[in-house]
Structure 1
């Protein structure tokens, strides 16, 4: 689970590239700030909860821009271990 945070961040940045060009800088910065704030998290349970939240939020942002989160965020879902949909 130690590298899961880094893998999730990488997947989120890949998803940001699917957003409209004018929205990308905002969401890339937002993702970086959130992942940096929690990079020193030690408990696996807390990390798992944060990863599920990252998936849920990413799915919400994709749907906001009419992007099918089910297809686009499949790899992020695997990394985050998200159950069901967002």
Structure 2
């Protein structure tokens, strides 16, 4: 789960960043990259799942901040955090 789920989550977060206003995208893309780089060596699946759930929570907050339907937009990221492999 670790490597593939982490990379899929990063790609999904970058897709979500593209839904934000253009002037905010560079900031959030850089923020996401820094966070994923900080945790790239995480090995325990349980720890990774917790971090993926946290990524979903934070992404949902940012999307809601810009009046984007977070439940719909971040559903795939939530599924990764919940451990659903069929994405």
- For the criterion TM > 0.5, the same-fold answer is yes
Q: Which residue of 1 aligns with 2:49?
A: 48
Give 1:24 deviation, angstroms: 0.1
Give 1:44 deviation, angstroms: 1.1
Give 1:79 deviation, angstroms: 1.3
Unaligned runs of 5+ in 2: none
Q: Which residue of 1 aligns with 2:25?
A: 24
CA distance, structure 1, for counterparts of residue 75 and residue 44 of structure 2: 25
Q: Which residue of 2 aligns with 1:12?
A: 13
Give 1:74 deviation, angstroms: 1.1
Q: How many residues align?
A: 82
Q: Which residue of 1 aligns with 2:67?
A: 66
CA RMSD of aligned residues (A): 1.1
CA distance, structure 1, for counterparts of residue 81 and residue 8 of structure 2: 9
Give 1:75 deviation, angstroms: 1.0
Q: Which residue of 1 aligns with 2:78?
A: 77
TM-score (norm 2): 0.90
